[in-house]
Amino acid sequence: MSLLSPSLEAFWAVVQKGTVLEAAKMVNLTQTGVTQRIRSLEKQLGVTLFTRSRKGMRLTNEGESLLRYVQAARDLEGDTLAKLSGKKSAATIEVCISGTSTLMRSRVIPRVSAILKKHPQLRVRFDLTEADNIVGKLKNGFAQLAAMPANQVGLELDSKMLAPEKYILVGPSSWKKRSLSDILEKECIIDHDPSDMVTFDLLKKYKLNKKARPERHYANNIDALTSMIQHGAGYSVLTAEYAQDFIKDGSLIVLDKTMFLDDPVALAWYPRNEMPLYFKDLIEAITKK
């Protein structure tokens, strides 16, 4: 049973599946039936909810606003139906949490995993992504929570600050006896992509950026980047939380223990008039100091 209208159910299905064909299967309608419900909803609201492209259905700004209403309604639906029937809620609830690879691995995933038994109806999707993509995933409804750089949190979002990520300069264990000046002069930086300036920012903080070679290697995956460092292809910055296991097992070393760069991060979500207990618990677990 759903408390949403048939038109909103069709809208939700299209958002979830991305195409009218797959949405029709989800709600047991024909493609024509789904299309008619979406058009009826658009006529009723006086807006366009989707644009159509080769990649499927994309939400308009108005569609994104309606999506946040539908998400909030679905959040409360299970609890409401349970209270009306006098039973505990058994409906499965899905939440997607997006964030950068290092923050998700070292902090978000362990903390969320630890509270899942408290909410057996909860299903979580951990979406490890690049920082530039995170806000968009909140806007289009793909994610409901996002761990992101604090400077990307817009005024329309609710948020709580997390402990900052501490970046440190690391290299392979085979460089133990080399000086930092020798490394900067002869070795290449490894970064995610040309727009990734965190390593240069750390060096700039200590007035060493001009001593580093300007050409860089790139690896847009944290596992590949870490592997490149371990094999001596170059040096980079990693968060202290993420790097600690590699430093402990001896595959990486800190090139200068006095150097670090703090990066402010926050957990963000769209405001909700009423917040379900599981959502509150997720926020509390992730932001706990």
The reported pLDDT for the residue numbered 86 is 56
Q: Is 94 within the bounds of a domain? A: no
If one counts every other C-beta atom within 10 angstroms of the C-beta of residue 261, the result is 20
The reported pLDDT for the residue numbered 2 is 61
The reported pLDDT for the residue numbered 52 is 83
Rg for the chain, CA atoms, rounded: 23
Q: What is the pLDDT of residues 111-131, one digit of tens each?
A: 999 999 999 888 999 999 887
CATH of the domain at 18: 1.10.10.10
Structure tokens, 42: 């658009």
Q: What is the pLDDT of residues 19-63, one digit of tens each?
A: 999 999 988 899 999 999 999 999 999 999 998 877 778 888 888
Domain boundary pick from 28, 49, 69: 69
The reported pLDDT for the residue numbered 55 is 74
Q: Is 186 within the bounds of a domain? A: yes
The reported pLDDT for the residue numbered 263 is 93
The reported pLDDT for the residue numbered 199 is 97
Task: List the chain residues with pLDDT less than 70.
Answer: 1-3, 77-91
Residues β-bridged to residue 165: 263
- For residues 11 and 65, the answer to whether their CB atoms sit within 8 Å is no
Residue 101's closest CA among 74, 121, 130, 72? 130
Q: What is the DSSP string of the chain?
A: --SS-HHHHHHHHHHHHSSHHHHHHHHT--HHHHHHHHHHHHHHHTS--EEEETTEEEE-HHHHHHHHHHHHHHHHHHHHHHHHHTS-----EEEEEEE-HHHIIIIIHHHHHTTGGG-TTEEEEEEE--GGGHHHHHHTTS-SEEEEEGGG--TTSEEEEEEEEEEEEEEEGGGTTS-HHHHHHHS-EEESSTT--HHHHHHHHTT-GGGS-S-EEE-SSHHHHHHHHHTTS-BEEEEHHHHHHHHHTTSEEES-TT--EEEEEEEEE---SS--HHHHHHHHHHH--
The reported pLDDT for the residue numbered 16 is 83
Q: Is 178 within the bounds of a domain? A: yes
Q: Is 151 within the bounds of a domain? A: no
Q: Is 63 within the bounds of a domain? A: yes
Residue 62 CA to residue 9 CA, distance in Å, equals: 17
The reported pLDDT for the residue numbered 41 is 92
Range of the domain at 14: 1-69
Domain boundary pick from 17, 48, 69: 69
Residue 232 CA to residue 7 CA, distance in Å, equals: 57
If one counts every other C-beta atom within 10 angstroms of the C-beta of residue 257, the result is 9
CATH of the domain at 190: 3.40.190.290
Domain count, the chain: 2
Total-model pTM: 0.75
Q: Is 30 within the bounds of a domain? A: yes
The reported pLDDT for the residue numbered 93 is 81
